[in-house]
Structure 1
């Protein structure tokens, strides 16, 4: 069954309740409702079950999963609400690891078991009741005697005031970010200097020790190679000396070969084989000379100097000991020296750096203070305009003795942010001379709903959820006041989807569509049903609301007058 489909739904694209399905909730056995844009009214006799409908919707929006809501004899109750999701919902879902495709409806389903426990789903993905409550803040505001969401929550008052007054906090947001960055840099620098000051004595000693050592990159490997070479030379020194004795000198092998060669030269012509022998001796002498040269080079390269070996070993042990002390590789000592020297230099120059950072913080704080103070002034001007706008709405709603104000108060320093330094809260005083207090503290159920309506009309398009529900906003009033309520609800419904539970014929007559909630008895079974009214049925229902149990022709005539276009 469709509710107020005749309105221009282009105004509501992506932001309203489109359907509600209820199964086995208290007296409701099975109910499927379709919704559209505009003002929808729900009426029925006292005790017909209007509250059950709201309780069911509240369940889908994360309300308490009380097993008492389950219809007697049934295993579970199920409520499914379908919305055209506003943009903010997608962010909430992503933050909770859920997704819906752009343009896809948001379907919230809640099950409550008769033996206790409940489950929740968002587009068939398991969800928590707390997530449903978070989503509800973007979807529906239910205003009734005990509701503490929407406009009654002071946490949203500042943003509502900013939206009403077209107050742009972007300069304050940027100034706050700059201030926070500057303060973080100063805090980090101070922490580094504090740490360095504690280590100053160690740093000075370490830098002096490393500077005196003067390690160089690659030095340890070079020393180790030279040390190994000299140690090898020490071991083969006697063998090299023995080789010299065999090859060189007057009694060495090369001397004897040369002597043999000179003798062979004198007799080589005597026989061909002697010439071959002479050639062989010449080759042996030549090879021996090469060996002699190579040995001479080896002796130079393997020169063994006991003092140099001791010096290299001492340097090598010193480098390795220093590396162990600082827990680095020997080749990293040179870079460590520079690092520690840099830390010491920064420490010595630290006070100057801190002073510069302090100056930066001071300048950033001045900029933020100026931006935040200007923001406060713009909010004060917007608050005065909002107070005046609400005041014009109070008298027609039979709240002429009440006063409304938008209270601005400075936040403590730890409450400052990119949104400024202000705490904003909507307050009322219901009687002359009475002090101002938060809405929920001093307003009765009917007064509270009318204050909310006055605020909503004043704020017009600014903030709020996609769908609003007023529960018996007309309680305790009639006549001109009820007509004023109906007029304002109709004006508000031009921009926001509204559902109103009402006992007032003046309010009911302003609805774009009308739902009747009624009980039906079938033997021992009682059921609550909801059905849309055709125009003639609507006239009869409004006449009943005017006259009571017996509907008179006079009541029907008055209903016709109420239903005439405004």
Structure 2
């Protein structure tokens, strides 16, 4: 649950804190006081889109902070995501979330004091909070949203079946598109394949090896300068090992120097150390002399080998001019060409194999779509019955909801398949149209929601659906932003009663103008506007007892100090208390 929400610098709210509780939290206030900013702040806190226009000029940034208490079924998964983000819950099992938006539009997010991508807040929000406003009622009029609502109600087994359908559908479409592309572009593919084969044949004849050009370049350089290399090596070898005449060599001179120093090493130990180092030098000089001798024996000015290297390097340069900058690039090009050739294959054998795969996958997609349809039809009956029962408790006792699951029409720019004996359009979500219909009273025709429901009826249908969803699980915190618009009288009381019932198993936040709904609150918060200063600001306070009755009186008649209004408000509170504890 969300224990506390602090908002600073957002719209008319300068700095305010909302202490929230379990159960039903109601937020009321005059029109324009800033109730919407509370819901906007919640949206920002859980990864919603930032609007820099809502940031107050002073201090030039909006900050929303919330303390989330990790309890219930989602606690483990939320804690795991927090740890994955590089943070961890506090010792008391809570975690602090924060979102900052500057007047320039820059946005930052923090979880447990650690900076995280804004998307992390969105992922946490999906698990812990569901926000429902009047825009959600409009979305409920869309067929895709109605299908999504039914799928959500159908349960986890249905979700797994849908996931299988989407995966198989993607495979089927990939094979279908591949086969169509091979057939449609057979000539272009054949021409591209011919060019690739020519290149591969040329490269295969030369058979370049990794790093070969650098090795050949070094060998050619040695052969081109063989005489100069030989002279240098001979002179150096003679200086180290002697040339056979009387001239002294380095090895002999080093030996003489070492022996001379050793004769006096008993007198001065430093000379002994130097003699030892000369011995090391003499050993190194001897090793170099031996290696120079081997180098001279191996050095060979071979004109034939040099010509062979020239020809080989010319062949490699011909490849690098056509296919890549160096030999390694030519080898990589050949590997890519072989892979591409397999993709360009338009042989009859491959086309037949792909066609068989297409038919097989299409059959699996159709079979899965039929199972999805059957599951939707079964869930539709349960869903309609459950929503109808809730509508009876929302002052619509004669209304009934029907959920029609029908095959999707062919010819909407999407593929078609025969599903359960009927040809229909199909997509990754199946081959069905789902439509919620309302029978407002006995004898009335079943009409789509957008035609059969008034604004107040649509609000109650939406609430009934949410109550049904709550019984099937879902996020632990539910936010309702003026979903009771267009409702009054007895229906308003019933909405308050249903929200209070939801609050038994969920944390519920309700923004409302209806005193009948506010009376059922476990905690009542009032957003009040302060126009006393140069800049209008709003704050939030908790109201209880007499102050709460005065707020309900204001909502009832606009007269917070009216004795009659207060008496009526106290009666509303008493009725609500009996309903909640009865």
Mapped to 2, the partners of 1:47 and 1:544 lie a distance apart of: 15
Contact 1:40 1:499 in 2 (8 A): yes
Provide the residue aligned with 1:240 in structure 2.
none
Provide the residue aligned with 2:278 in structure 1.
none
Provide the residue aligned with 2:15 in structure 1.
30
Q: Does residue 56 of structure 2 align to residue 70 of structure 1?
A: yes
Mapped to 2, the partners of 1:347 and 1:128 lie a distance apart of: 42
Give the deviation of 1:20 after TM superposition: 0.9
Cα deviations by residue, 1:120-171 (Å, 9 ceiling, x for unpaired): 3233566777886676555544333345798677655444423422352535
Q: Secondary structure at the match of 2:25?
A: strand
**How many residues align structurally?**
449
Give the deviation of 1:21 after TM superposition: 0.7
Answer with 1 or 2: which has the greater Rg: 1
Provide the residue aligned with 1:119 in structure 2.
107
| Structure 1 residues 371 and 558: alpha-carbon distance in aligned structure 2, compared to 1, 3 A threshold | closer
Q: Does residue 577 of structure 2 align to residue 563 of structure 1?
A: yes
Cα deviations by residue, 1:465-489 (Å, 9 ceiling, x for unpaired): 5432223344444443222112211
Mapped to 1, the partners of 2:79 and 2:143 lie a distance apart of: 24
Give the deviation of 1:499 after TM superposition: 0.9
Mapped to 2, the partners of 1:30 and 1:478 lie a distance apart of: 33
Mapped to 1, the partners of 2:197 and 2:548 lie a distance apart of: 94
Mapped to 2, the partners of 1:502 and 1:70 lie a distance apart of: 25
Give the deviation of 1:380 after TM superposition: 1.9
Which moved further from structure 2: 511-520 or 401-410?
Answer: 401-410
Q: Does residue 490 of structure 2 align to residue 483 of structure 1?
A: no
| Structure 1 residues 509 and 363: alpha-carbon distance in aligned structure 2, compared to 1, 3 A threshold | same
Give the deviation of 1:177 after TM superposition: 4.0
Contact 1:100 1:106 in 2 (8 A): no
Contact 1:119 1:128 in 2 (8 A): no
Contact 2:414 2:426 in 1 (8 A): yes
Which moved further from structure 2: 461-470 or 407-416?
Answer: 407-416
Contact 2:65 2:96 in 1 (8 A): no
Provide the residue aligned with 2:133 in structure 1.
144
Mapped to 1, the partners of 2:509 and 2:194 lie a distance apart of: 76
Contact 2:12 2:537 in 1 (8 A): yes
Contact 2:153 2:472 in 1 (8 A): yes
Q: Map 1:211-360 to 2 at 5 A.
A: 350-360=347-357
Give the deviation of 1:458 after TM superposition: 2.2
Provide the residue aligned with 1:263 in structure 2.
none
Mapped to 2, the partners of 1:399 and 1:502 lie a distance apart of: 20
Provide the residue aligned with 2:240 in structure 1.
none
Contact 1:471 1:500 in 2 (8 A): yes
Mapped to 2, the partners of 1:490 and 1:49 lie a distance apart of: 24
Give the deviation of 1:501 after TM superposition: 2.2
Contact 1:39 1:493 in 2 (8 A): yes
Provide the residue aligned with 2:2 in structure 1.
17
The correspondence for 1:449, drawn from 459, 477, 483, is: 459
Q: Does residue 387 of structure 2 align to residue 397 of structure 1?
A: no
Give the deviation of 1:460 after TM superposition: 2.7
Which moved further from structure 2: 428-437 or 417-426?
Answer: 428-437
Contact 1:164 1:386 in 2 (8 A): yes
Cα deviations by residue, 1:345-381 (Å, 9 ceiling, x for unpaired): 9999953454344323322321221121121121022
Contact 1:193 1:350 in 2 (8 A): no
Contact 1:82 1:106 in 2 (8 A): yes
Cα deviations by residue, 1:44-84 (Å, 9 ceiling, x for unpaired): 4555543343344345453553545527x654443323435
Mapped to 1, the partners of 2:567 and 2:493 lie a distance apart of: 19
Contact 1:40 1:515 in 2 (8 A): yes
Contact 1:141 1:465 in 2 (8 A): yes
Mapped to 2, the partners of 1:436 and 1:450 lie a distance apart of: 15
Provide the residue aligned with 1:53 in structure 2.
38
Give the deviation of 1:490 after TM superposition: 1.6
Unaligned runs of 5+ in 1: 1-15, 216-318, 329-339
Give the deviation of 1:18 after TM superposition: 2.7
Provide the residue aligned with 1:376 in structure 2.
373
Give the deviation of 1:427 after TM superposition: 5.9
Provide the residue aligned with 1:39 in structure 2.
24
Q: Secondary structure at the match of 2:19?
A: strand
The correspondence for 2:526, drawn from 492, 513, 516, is: 516
Mapped to 2, the partners of 1:54 and 1:60 lie a distance apart of: 10
Give the deviation of 1:109 after TM superposition: 1.6
| Structure 1 residues 321 and 29: alpha-carbon distance in aligned structure 2, compared to 1, 3 A threshold | closer
Q: Secondary structure at the match of 1:168?
A: helix
Give the deviation of 1:119 after TM superposition: 3.0
Which moved further from structure 2: 472-481 or 131-140?
Answer: 131-140
Cα deviations by residue, 1:527-560 (Å, 9 ceiling, x for unpaired): 5332223456545654665574413474335533
| Structure 1 residues 100 and 194: alpha-carbon distance in aligned structure 2, compared to 1, 3 A threshold | farther
RMSD over equivalenced CA pairs, Å: 5.9
Give the deviation of 1:33 after TM superposition: 2.2
Cα deviations by residue, 1:413-446 (Å, 9 ceiling, x for unpaired): 459566433354656687955852559x9753x4
Q: Does residue 173 of structure 2 align to residue 161 of structure 1?
A: no
Q: Secondary structure at the match of 1:397?
A: coil
Provide the residue aligned with 2:468 in structure 1.
458
Mapped to 2, the partners of 1:112 and 1:201 lie a distance apart of: 59
Contact 1:182 1:361 in 2 (8 A): yes
The correspondence for 2:563, drawn from 548, 551, 555, is: 551
